[in-house]
Chain A
Amino acid sequence: MKKEDLFKEIGLIDENLIEAAGHNGTEKRKKGISKKWVILVACLVLYSSTASALLATEYYKNQNSEPYIRYLNAEDMELEPATQYDAEKFLHALKSDNNEYVYIAINRLVESFNDPTLRVKALKELQPFIKNENQKIADAAAFAVDILSKSYRSPYIVKLADGSMIFTLFNNYSDYGSQNVIWRIKDNVLKEYLSFSAPSMYITKIIPSPNHKLIAIVTCSNKSNFVQISNIEEGMTSPELIESARVKYGAQKELDTWIRTDHENYSYADNLVWKDNDTLVFEGSLAYQNTEIIENVTVKYQFSKKIIEVKEKGL
Protein backbone atom coordinates (compact mmCIF):
# COMPACT_ATOMS: atom_id res chain seq x y z
CA MET A 1 0.00 0.00 0.00
CA LYS A 2 1.23 3.46 -0.88
CA LYS A 3 1.20 6.35 1.60
CA GLU A 4 -1.40 8.11 -0.57
CA ASP A 5 -3.68 5.05 -0.30
CA LEU A 6 -3.35 5.05 3.48
CA PHE A 7 -4.25 8.76 3.47
CA LYS A 8 -7.32 7.88 1.40
CA GLU A 9 -8.30 5.11 3.83
CA ILE A 10 -8.05 7.55 6.74
CA GLY A 11 -10.54 9.65 4.76
CA LEU A 12 -13.11 6.90 5.28
CA ILE A 13 -13.01 6.78 9.08
CA ASP A 14 -16.11 7.31 11.19
CA GLU A 15 -17.92 10.59 10.56
CA ASN A 16 -18.45 11.16 14.29
CA LEU A 17 -14.72 11.00 14.93
CA ILE A 18 -14.02 13.49 12.12
CA GLU A 19 -16.65 15.93 13.30
CA ALA A 20 -15.51 15.67 16.94
CA ALA A 21 -11.88 16.35 15.92
CA GLY A 22 -12.99 19.29 13.78
CA HIS A 23 -14.71 20.94 16.69
CA ASN A 24 -12.05 20.03 19.23
CA GLY A 25 -9.16 22.24 20.38
CA THR A 26 -9.03 25.98 21.21
CA GLU A 27 -7.92 28.72 18.62
CA LYS A 28 -6.62 29.93 20.32
CA ARG A 29 39.62 50.89 24.22
CA LYS A 30 43.88 54.22 23.04
CA LYS A 31 47.28 54.74 24.16
CA GLY A 32 49.99 56.50 22.09
CA ILE A 33 52.70 54.21 20.67
CA SER A 34 56.20 55.56 20.09
CA LYS A 35 57.71 55.46 16.55
CA LYS A 36 60.56 53.19 17.74
CA TRP A 37 58.09 50.45 18.64
CA VAL A 38 56.22 50.81 15.36
CA ILE A 39 59.46 50.35 13.37
CA LEU A 40 60.49 47.35 15.51
CA VAL A 41 57.12 45.64 15.10
CA ALA A 42 57.13 46.32 11.34
CA CYS A 43 60.59 44.72 11.04
CA LEU A 44 59.42 41.67 13.00
CA VAL A 45 56.30 41.32 10.83
CA LEU A 46 58.41 41.58 7.66
CA TYR A 47 60.87 38.99 8.97
CA SER A 48 58.20 36.52 10.07
CA SER A 49 56.18 36.82 6.84
CA THR A 50 59.28 36.26 4.67
CA ALA A 51 60.22 33.24 6.78
CA SER A 52 56.65 31.88 6.54
CA ALA A 53 56.60 32.33 2.76
CA LEU A 54 59.93 30.48 2.40
CA LEU A 55 58.73 27.69 4.67
CA ALA A 56 55.43 27.44 2.80
CA THR A 57 57.23 27.22 -0.57
CA GLU A 58 59.41 24.45 0.78
CA TYR A 59 56.34 22.68 2.20
CA TYR A 60 54.45 22.76 -1.08
CA LYS A 61 57.53 21.54 -2.99
CA ASN A 62 57.72 18.56 -0.66
CA GLN A 63 53.98 18.11 -0.79
CA ASN A 64 54.06 17.71 -4.55
CA SER A 65 56.97 15.29 -4.48
CA GLU A 66 55.44 13.15 -1.73
CA PRO A 67 51.62 13.24 -1.53
CA TYR A 68 50.19 13.56 1.93
CA ILE A 69 46.48 13.80 2.45
CA ARG A 70 45.66 15.21 5.84
CA TYR A 71 41.92 14.57 5.73
CA LEU A 72 39.74 13.06 3.04
CA ASN A 73 36.54 14.91 2.37
CA ALA A 74 33.90 14.45 -0.29
CA GLU A 75 34.54 17.82 -2.01
CA ASP A 76 38.29 17.22 -2.44
CA MET A 77 37.63 13.81 -3.91
CA GLU A 78 35.49 15.44 -6.59
CA LEU A 79 38.67 17.27 -7.83
CA GLU A 80 36.59 20.36 -8.51
CA PRO A 81 36.78 23.82 -6.97
CA ALA A 82 34.02 24.60 -4.44
CA THR A 83 31.04 26.44 -5.86
CA GLN A 84 31.27 30.18 -5.22
CA TYR A 85 28.34 32.23 -3.95
CA ASP A 86 26.76 33.84 -6.99
CA ALA A 87 24.41 36.69 -6.00
CA GLU A 88 23.57 37.49 -9.65
CA LYS A 89 22.05 34.04 -10.02
CA PHE A 90 19.72 34.70 -7.09
CA LEU A 91 18.88 38.21 -8.30
CA HIS A 92 17.92 36.67 -11.62
CA ALA A 93 15.82 34.00 -9.86
CA LEU A 94 13.68 36.75 -8.30
CA LYS A 95 12.10 37.18 -11.73
CA SER A 96 11.05 33.53 -11.89
CA ASP A 97 7.35 32.65 -11.89
CA ASN A 98 8.13 29.71 -9.62
CA ASN A 99 7.38 30.82 -6.05
CA GLU A 100 9.72 28.23 -4.63
CA TYR A 101 12.70 29.66 -6.61
CA VAL A 102 11.76 33.18 -5.50
CA TYR A 103 11.56 32.11 -1.85
CA ILE A 104 14.99 30.40 -2.02
CA ALA A 105 16.54 33.38 -3.87
CA ILE A 106 15.23 35.87 -1.27
CA ASN A 107 16.78 33.89 1.58
CA ARG A 108 20.08 33.29 -0.28
CA LEU A 109 20.40 37.03 -1.11
CA VAL A 110 20.98 37.73 2.60
CA GLU A 111 24.43 36.21 1.96
CA SER A 112 25.29 39.25 -0.20
CA PHE A 113 25.53 41.24 3.07
CA ASN A 114 29.36 41.52 3.01
CA ASP A 115 29.53 43.09 -0.50
CA PRO A 116 28.33 46.76 -0.29
CA THR A 117 27.41 47.00 -4.00
CA LEU A 118 25.52 43.72 -4.09
CA ARG A 119 23.86 44.48 -0.76
CA VAL A 120 22.38 47.74 -2.09
CA LYS A 121 21.33 46.04 -5.33
CA ALA A 122 19.69 43.15 -3.46
CA LEU A 123 17.91 45.58 -1.12
CA LYS A 124 16.40 47.43 -4.07
CA GLU A 125 15.28 44.23 -5.78
CA LEU A 126 13.83 42.74 -2.60
CA GLN A 127 11.66 45.70 -1.54
CA PRO A 128 8.67 44.88 -3.81
CA PHE A 129 8.43 41.34 -2.43
CA ILE A 130 7.51 42.65 1.05
CA LYS A 131 3.99 43.14 -0.30
CA ASN A 132 3.83 39.79 -2.10
CA GLU A 133 0.50 38.01 -1.78
CA ASN A 134 2.31 34.81 -0.80
CA GLN A 135 2.84 35.23 2.96
CA LYS A 136 5.97 33.05 3.09
CA ILE A 137 7.64 35.16 0.36
CA ALA A 138 6.53 38.43 1.99
CA ASP A 139 7.88 37.32 5.41
CA ALA A 140 11.20 36.13 3.92
CA ALA A 141 11.59 39.43 2.02
CA ALA A 142 10.81 41.50 5.14
CA PHE A 143 13.45 39.55 7.07
CA ALA A 144 16.07 39.83 4.27
CA VAL A 145 15.45 43.58 3.99
CA ASP A 146 15.74 43.95 7.77
CA ILE A 147 19.19 42.30 7.71
CA LEU A 148 20.50 43.92 4.51
CA SER A 149 19.33 47.40 5.55
CA LYS A 150 21.04 46.78 8.94
CA SER A 151 17.86 47.69 10.85
CA TYR A 152 17.94 44.47 12.89
CA ARG A 153 14.41 44.80 14.20
CA SER A 154 13.18 41.31 13.37
CA PRO A 155 12.18 39.10 16.31
CA TYR A 156 14.04 36.27 14.54
CA ILE A 157 17.37 38.03 15.38
CA VAL A 158 19.03 37.11 18.69
CA LYS A 159 21.29 39.93 19.95
CA LEU A 160 24.21 38.76 22.07
CA ALA A 161 26.13 40.45 24.91
CA ASP A 162 29.28 40.86 22.77
CA GLY A 163 27.32 43.01 20.30
CA SER A 164 27.10 40.29 17.67
CA MET A 165 23.83 38.90 16.34
CA ILE A 166 22.72 35.44 15.30
CA PHE A 167 19.78 34.24 13.22
CA THR A 168 18.59 31.52 10.92
CA LEU A 169 17.48 31.80 7.30
CA PHE A 170 14.49 30.07 5.77
CA ASN A 171 12.65 30.82 9.03
CA ASN A 172 9.92 28.27 9.75
CA TYR A 173 10.03 27.04 6.16
CA SER A 174 8.77 23.72 7.40
CA ASP A 175 6.24 22.64 9.96
CA TYR A 176 9.25 21.53 11.96
CA GLY A 177 11.31 24.76 11.93
CA SER A 178 14.03 26.74 10.13
CA GLN A 179 17.13 25.80 8.10
CA ASN A 180 19.68 24.11 10.36
CA VAL A 181 22.35 26.81 9.93
CA ILE A 182 23.05 29.61 12.43
CA TRP A 183 24.37 32.81 10.83
CA ARG A 184 26.27 35.45 12.81
CA ILE A 185 26.92 39.13 12.16
CA LYS A 186 29.98 40.26 14.10
CA ASP A 187 31.85 43.54 13.48
CA ASN A 188 29.56 44.11 10.49
CA VAL A 189 30.60 40.85 8.81
CA LEU A 190 28.17 38.01 8.12
CA LYS A 191 29.48 34.46 8.53
CA GLU A 192 27.95 31.02 8.71
CA TYR A 193 28.49 30.16 12.37
CA LEU A 194 27.15 26.71 13.13
CA SER A 195 25.17 23.95 11.49
CA PHE A 196 23.91 20.64 12.73
CA SER A 197 24.27 17.20 11.25
CA ALA A 198 21.54 14.57 10.90
CA PRO A 199 19.20 13.84 12.50
CA SER A 200 18.98 17.54 13.56
CA MET A 201 17.30 18.72 10.41
CA TYR A 202 15.58 21.88 11.64
CA ILE A 203 16.25 24.66 14.15
CA THR A 204 13.13 25.09 16.24
CA LYS A 205 14.12 27.71 18.85
CA ILE A 206 17.07 29.89 19.91
CA ILE A 207 16.62 31.11 23.49
CA PRO A 208 19.19 33.56 24.92
CA SER A 209 20.15 33.53 28.63
CA PRO A 210 19.03 36.65 30.60
CA ASN A 211 22.47 38.30 30.14
CA HIS A 212 22.55 37.23 26.46
CA LYS A 213 25.90 35.43 26.86
CA LEU A 214 24.60 31.90 26.32
CA ILE A 215 21.99 30.53 23.97
CA ALA A 216 19.91 27.38 24.17
CA ILE A 217 19.37 25.91 20.70
CA VAL A 218 16.54 23.46 20.11
CA THR A 219 16.75 21.38 16.95
CA CYS A 220 14.58 18.52 15.79
CA SER A 221 13.87 15.77 13.33
CA ASN A 222 10.36 14.48 12.74
CA LYS A 223 10.95 11.97 15.56
CA SER A 224 13.18 13.66 18.14
CA ASN A 225 14.17 16.93 19.83
CA PHE A 226 17.75 17.96 20.63
CA VAL A 227 18.93 20.73 22.99
CA GLN A 228 22.39 22.31 23.18
CA ILE A 229 23.73 25.35 25.03
CA SER A 230 26.34 27.46 23.27
CA ASN A 231 28.62 30.27 24.40
CA ILE A 232 29.03 31.93 21.02
CA GLU A 233 31.62 34.47 22.25
CA GLU A 234 33.97 31.78 23.54
CA GLY A 235 32.99 29.11 20.98
CA MET A 236 32.01 26.49 23.58
CA THR A 237 29.02 24.17 23.28
CA SER A 238 27.45 21.81 25.82
CA PRO A 239 26.77 18.14 25.12
CA GLU A 240 23.35 17.36 23.63
CA LEU A 241 21.12 17.59 26.69
CA ILE A 242 18.14 15.35 25.85
CA GLU A 243 20.27 12.30 25.08
CA SER A 244 22.47 13.12 28.12
CA ALA A 245 19.34 13.30 30.30
CA ARG A 246 18.01 10.08 28.79
CA VAL A 247 21.26 8.20 29.51
CA LYS A 248 21.55 9.63 33.05
CA TYR A 249 17.93 8.98 34.00
CA GLY A 250 18.08 5.52 32.41
CA ALA A 251 21.07 4.67 34.63
CA GLN A 252 19.28 6.08 37.72
CA LYS A 253 16.18 3.97 37.03
CA GLU A 254 18.07 0.94 35.69
CA LEU A 255 16.29 1.19 32.32
CA ASP A 256 17.71 -0.18 29.07
CA THR A 257 19.22 2.85 27.35
CA TRP A 258 20.40 1.91 23.90
CA ILE A 259 21.76 4.59 21.60
CA ARG A 260 20.49 4.15 18.06
CA THR A 261 22.87 4.34 15.10
CA ASP A 262 20.60 6.96 13.51
CA HIS A 263 20.86 9.00 16.78
CA GLU A 264 17.11 9.45 17.01
CA ASN A 265 16.05 9.60 20.69
CA TYR A 266 12.28 9.64 20.22
CA SER A 267 12.19 12.12 23.11
CA TYR A 268 11.33 15.78 23.35
CA ALA A 269 11.84 18.90 25.46
CA ASP A 270 9.23 21.42 26.48
CA ASN A 271 8.98 24.64 28.52
CA LEU A 272 12.67 25.61 28.29
CA VAL A 273 13.46 28.35 30.81
CA TRP A 274 16.69 30.05 31.89
CA LYS A 275 16.64 30.00 35.73
CA ASP A 276 19.66 32.31 35.87
CA ASN A 277 22.47 33.34 33.52
CA ASP A 278 24.00 29.85 33.67
CA THR A 279 21.20 27.35 34.37
CA LEU A 280 18.69 26.01 31.87
CA VAL A 281 15.66 24.05 33.06
CA PHE A 282 13.24 22.14 30.86
CA GLU A 283 10.64 19.41 30.94
CA GLY A 284 11.64 16.28 29.10
CA SER A 285 9.63 13.35 27.81
CA LEU A 286 12.20 10.60 27.54
CA ALA A 287 11.61 7.40 25.58
CA TYR A 288 13.06 4.02 26.40
CA GLN A 289 12.69 0.59 24.83
CA ASN A 290 11.44 1.85 21.49
CA THR A 291 8.91 4.24 23.14
CA GLU A 292 7.36 1.43 25.22
CA ILE A 293 8.43 3.36 28.34
CA ILE A 294 7.97 7.12 28.52
CA GLU A 295 9.43 9.00 31.49
CA ASN A 296 8.36 12.60 32.13
CA VAL A 297 11.22 14.42 33.85
CA THR A 298 12.58 17.83 34.78
CA VAL A 299 16.10 18.49 33.51
CA LYS A 300 18.41 21.15 34.98
CA TYR A 301 21.79 21.92 33.38
CA GLN A 302 24.48 24.25 34.76
CA PHE A 303 26.64 25.28 31.80
CA SER A 304 29.78 26.51 33.66
CA LYS A 305 29.94 23.48 36.00
CA LYS A 306 28.71 20.99 33.34
CA ILE A 307 26.28 19.48 35.87
CA ILE A 308 23.07 17.83 34.68
CA GLU A 309 20.28 16.88 37.09
CA VAL A 310 17.36 14.75 35.96
CA LYS A 311 14.38 14.26 38.27
CA GLU A 312 10.97 12.72 37.86
CA LYS A 313 8.53 15.50 36.98
CA GLY A 314 6.75 16.91 40.02
CA LEU A 315 9.40 15.86 42.54
Chain B
Amino acid sequence: MEDQGIIHLYLQRSQQAILETKNKYGAYCRVIARNIISNFSDVEECENDTYLAAWNAIPPNLPRNFSVFLGRITRNIALDKYGYNTAKKRNREFEVILTELEECLASPDTVETEYEEGEIANLINQFLYGIDEQARNIFIGRYWYSYSIDELSMRFNMSSSKVKSILFRTRNKLRVYLDKEGVNL
Protein backbone atom coordinates (compact mmCIF):
# COMPACT_ATOMS: atom_id res chain seq x y z
CA MET B 1 0.00 0.00 0.00
CA GLU B 2 1.17 3.50 -0.83
CA ASP B 3 2.13 5.78 2.07
CA GLN B 4 -0.72 8.17 1.24
CA GLY B 5 -3.18 5.27 1.54
CA ILE B 6 -1.83 4.34 4.97
CA ILE B 7 -2.01 7.95 6.16
CA HIS B 8 -5.58 8.10 4.86
CA LEU B 9 -6.42 5.07 7.03
CA TYR B 10 -4.98 6.90 10.06
CA LEU B 11 -7.12 9.92 9.25
CA GLN B 12 -10.19 7.66 9.08
CA ARG B 13 -9.16 6.20 12.47
CA SER B 14 -9.11 2.72 10.92
CA GLN B 15 -7.06 0.16 12.91
CA GLN B 16 -6.01 -1.30 9.55
CA ALA B 17 -3.57 1.63 9.46
CA ILE B 18 -1.45 -0.02 12.21
CA LEU B 19 -1.45 -3.35 10.34
CA GLU B 20 -0.43 -1.74 7.05
CA THR B 21 2.30 0.27 8.81
CA LYS B 22 3.62 -2.90 10.44
CA ASN B 23 3.62 -4.76 7.12
CA LYS B 24 5.45 -2.04 5.25
CA TYR B 25 7.66 -0.45 7.88
CA GLY B 26 7.92 -3.02 10.74
CA ALA B 27 11.37 -4.30 9.70
CA TYR B 28 12.61 -0.74 9.10
CA CYS B 29 11.56 0.38 12.58
CA ARG B 30 13.06 -2.74 14.20
CA VAL B 31 16.45 -2.10 12.50
CA ILE B 32 16.53 1.47 13.78
CA ALA B 33 15.59 0.32 17.30
CA ARG B 34 18.01 -2.65 17.28
CA ASN B 35 20.91 -0.33 16.38
CA ILE B 36 20.22 1.62 19.59
CA ILE B 37 19.03 -1.02 22.08
CA SER B 38 20.18 -4.64 22.15
CA ASN B 39 17.44 -6.37 24.13
CA PHE B 40 14.98 -8.21 21.84
CA SER B 41 11.87 -7.53 23.95
CA ASP B 42 12.82 -3.83 24.21
CA VAL B 43 13.05 -3.67 20.41
CA GLU B 44 9.60 -5.23 20.09
CA GLU B 45 8.19 -2.82 22.64
CA CYS B 46 9.81 0.06 20.78
CA GLU B 47 8.16 -1.00 17.53
CA ASN B 48 4.71 -1.19 19.14
CA ASP B 49 5.22 2.17 20.87
CA THR B 50 6.06 3.65 17.46
CA TYR B 51 2.71 2.51 16.03
CA LEU B 52 0.88 3.94 19.04
CA ALA B 53 2.75 7.26 18.73
CA ALA B 54 1.91 7.42 15.01
CA TRP B 55 -1.74 6.68 15.83
CA ASN B 56 -1.79 9.56 18.34
CA ALA B 57 0.08 11.95 16.05
CA ILE B 58 -1.99 11.51 12.83
CA PRO B 59 -4.09 13.58 12.87
CA PRO B 60 -3.37 16.42 13.57
CA ASN B 61 0.05 15.82 11.90
CA LEU B 62 0.22 14.91 8.24
CA PRO B 63 3.67 13.45 7.60
CA ARG B 64 5.27 14.53 4.34
CA ASN B 65 7.66 11.60 4.37
CA PHE B 66 6.08 8.68 6.25
CA SER B 67 9.22 6.49 6.54
CA VAL B 68 11.34 9.31 8.03
CA PHE B 69 8.41 10.26 10.29
CA LEU B 70 8.23 6.69 11.67
CA GLY B 71 12.03 6.42 11.85
CA ARG B 72 12.23 9.60 13.93
CA ILE B 73 9.61 8.31 16.38
CA THR B 74 11.36 4.91 16.71
CA ARG B 75 14.71 6.60 17.18
CA ASN B 76 13.43 8.85 19.99
CA ILE B 77 11.60 6.02 21.78
CA ALA B 78 14.66 3.76 21.49
CA LEU B 79 16.92 6.54 22.81
CA ASP B 80 14.64 7.03 25.84
CA LYS B 81 14.67 3.27 26.51
CA TYR B 82 18.47 3.25 26.15
CA GLY B 83 18.63 5.97 28.82
CA TYR B 84 16.50 3.94 31.23
CA ASN B 85 18.62 0.80 30.84
CA THR B 86 21.37 0.24 33.39
CA ALA B 87 24.97 0.42 32.14
CA LYS B 88 25.29 -3.41 31.88
CA LYS B 89 22.20 -3.76 29.73
CA ARG B 90 23.21 -1.03 27.30
CA ASN B 91 24.11 -1.61 23.69
CA ARG B 92 27.92 -1.16 23.62
CA GLU B 93 28.03 -0.35 19.93
CA PHE B 94 25.58 2.47 20.37
CA GLU B 95 27.65 3.68 23.34
CA VAL B 96 30.57 4.05 20.86
CA ILE B 97 28.38 6.13 18.56
CA LEU B 98 27.49 8.48 21.40
CA THR B 99 31.14 8.70 22.50
CA GLU B 100 32.06 9.70 18.96
CA LEU B 101 29.45 12.45 19.03
CA GLU B 102 30.96 13.75 22.25
CA GLU B 103 33.92 14.94 20.14
CA CYS B 104 31.60 17.51 18.56
CA LEU B 105 30.74 19.01 21.93
CA ALA B 106 32.70 21.81 23.54
CA SER B 107 35.18 21.06 26.32
CA PRO B 108 33.68 20.82 29.84
CA ASP B 109 35.22 24.15 30.89
CA THR B 110 33.29 26.06 28.20
CA VAL B 111 30.17 27.86 29.31
CA GLU B 112 27.19 26.22 27.63
CA THR B 113 24.38 28.14 26.04
CA GLU B 114 20.80 26.88 26.08
CA TYR B 115 19.34 26.16 22.67
CA GLU B 116 15.81 25.50 21.58
CA GLU B 117 14.89 22.15 20.10
CA GLY B 118 15.68 22.12 16.39
CA GLU B 119 17.98 25.14 16.54
CA ILE B 120 21.15 23.01 16.39
CA ALA B 121 19.51 20.68 13.85
CA ASN B 122 19.16 23.66 11.46
CA LEU B 123 22.87 24.42 11.77
CA ILE B 124 23.73 20.72 11.27
CA ASN B 125 21.51 20.81 8.16
CA GLN B 126 23.44 23.75 6.73
CA PHE B 127 26.71 22.00 7.55
CA LEU B 128 25.61 18.74 5.92
CA TYR B 129 24.50 20.51 2.72
CA GLY B 130 27.96 22.09 2.53
CA ILE B 131 30.02 18.89 2.62
CA ASP B 132 30.46 16.26 -0.08
CA GLU B 133 27.66 13.78 -0.65
CA GLN B 134 29.54 10.64 0.39
CA ALA B 135 30.74 12.09 3.71
CA ARG B 136 27.21 13.39 4.33
CA ASN B 137 25.56 10.03 3.69
CA ILE B 138 28.10 8.18 5.83
CA PHE B 139 27.58 10.70 8.65
CA ILE B 140 23.80 10.30 8.50
CA GLY B 141 24.16 6.52 8.24
CA ARG B 142 26.19 6.48 11.45
CA TYR B 143 24.43 9.13 13.52
CA TRP B 144 20.85 8.95 12.26
CA TYR B 145 20.44 5.27 11.35
CA SER B 146 23.12 4.20 13.92
CA TYR B 147 24.68 1.74 11.46
CA SER B 148 27.85 -0.08 12.55
CA ILE B 149 31.19 0.67 10.84
CA ASP B 150 31.09 -2.76 9.13
CA GLU B 151 27.63 -2.13 7.79
CA LEU B 152 28.67 1.28 6.45
CA SER B 153 31.82 -0.13 4.84
CA MET B 154 29.65 -2.73 3.07
CA ARG B 155 27.02 -0.22 1.99
CA PHE B 156 29.56 2.27 0.67
CA ASN B 157 31.97 -0.36 -0.64
CA MET B 158 35.03 0.96 1.19
CA SER B 159 37.32 -0.26 3.94
CA SER B 160 36.24 0.22 7.53
CA SER B 161 39.31 2.35 8.25
CA LYS B 162 38.26 4.70 5.48
CA VAL B 163 34.75 4.92 6.93
CA LYS B 164 36.19 5.67 10.38
CA SER B 165 38.48 8.28 8.94
CA ILE B 166 35.68 10.01 6.97
CA LEU B 167 33.52 10.03 10.11
CA PHE B 168 36.33 11.40 12.23
CA ARG B 169 37.08 14.17 9.79
CA THR B 170 33.40 15.05 9.39
CA ARG B 171 32.96 15.26 13.17
CA ASN B 172 36.02 17.51 13.34
CA LYS B 173 34.62 19.75 10.62
CA LEU B 174 31.23 19.87 12.36
CA ARG B 175 32.85 20.92 15.63
CA VAL B 176 34.79 23.69 13.84
CA TYR B 177 31.62 24.76 11.95
CA LEU B 178 29.53 24.98 15.14
CA ASP B 179 32.35 26.88 16.79
CA LYS B 180 32.45 29.39 13.94
CA GLU B 181 28.70 29.83 14.22
CA GLY B 182 29.21 30.77 17.86
CA VAL B 183 27.55 27.66 19.21
CA ASN B 184 28.75 26.36 22.59
CA LEU B 185 27.23 22.93 23.13
Task: Tell me the smallest distance from the CB of B19 to a CB of chain A, in Å.
Answer: 23
A interface majority secondary structure: mixed
Task: Tell me the smallest distance from the CB of B176 to a CB of chain A, in Å.
Answer: 10
B interface majority secondary structure: helix
Ranked nearest first, the 3 interchain pairs of A and B with the lowest CB-CB distance are A25-B155, A21-B140, A12-B121
**Which one of A9, A10, A218 has the greatest number of beta carbons of chain B within 10 Å?**
A10
Q: B141 near A: Cβ within 8 Å?
A: yes
Task: Tell me the smallest distance from the CB of B5 to a CB of chain A, in Å.
Answer: 19
The answer on a CB contact under 8 Å between B161 and A25 is no
Chain B residues numbered 140-163 whose CB sits less than 8 Å from any CB in chain A: 140-141, 143-145, 148-150, 152, 154-157, 159-162
Given known A174-B93, A222-B96, contact A204–B160 (CB-CB < 8 A): yes
Query: Per-residue CB proximity of B162-179 to A under 8 Å, as 1/0?
Result: 101100110010000000
Q: A147 near B: Cβ within 8 Å?
A: no
Q: B117 near A: Cβ within 8 Å?
A: yes
Chain A residues numbered 34-90 whose CB sits less than 8 Å from any CB in chain B: none
Contact of B169 among A12, A100, A176, A291 (CB under 8 A): A291
Q: Which of A117-125, A152-160, A267-275, A298-306 contacts B (4 or more CB under 8 A)?
A: A267-275
The answer on a CB contact under 8 Å between A25 and B76 is no
Query: Per-residue CB proximity of B54-67 to A under 8 Å, as 1/0?
Result: 00000000001101
Contact of A3 among B67, B102, B124, B129 (CB under 8 A): B102
- In the assembled complex, 13 residue pairs joining A and B whose CB atoms fall closer than 8 Å, in A order, are A1-B105, A1-B115, A11-B144, A12-B72, A13-B124, A19-B68, A26-B157, A175-B96, A222-B96, A222-B168, A225-B161, A266-B168, A285-B162
The answer on a CB contact under 8 Å between A6 and B104 is yes
The answer on a CB contact under 8 Å between B99 and A13 is no
Give B residues with C-beta under 8 Å from A. 64-65, 67-68, 71-72, 75-76, 79, 83, 88, 92-93, 96-102, 104-105, 112, 115, 117-118, 120-121, 124-125, 128-129, 133, 136-137, 139-141, 143-145, 148-150, 152, 154-157, 159-162, 164-165, 168-169, 172, 185
Q: A260 near B: Cβ within 8 Å?
A: no
The answer on a CB contact under 8 Å between B96 and A3 is no
The answer on a CB contact under 8 Å between B144 and A13 is yes
Task: Tell me the smallest distance from the CB of A265 to a CB of chain B, in Å.
Answer: 11
The answer on a CB contact under 8 Å between B161 and A3 is no
CB neighbours (8 Å) of A285 from chain B are: 162, 165
A255 to B124, CA, bound (A): 32
Task: Tell me the smallest distance from the CB of B118 to a CB of chain A, in Å.
Answer: 5
The answer on a CB contact under 8 Å between A175 and B149 is yes
Contact of B79 among A4, A218, A225 (CB under 8 A): A4
CB neighbours (8 Å) of A17 from chain B are: 125, 128-129, 136, 140
A11 to B64, CA, bound (A): 16
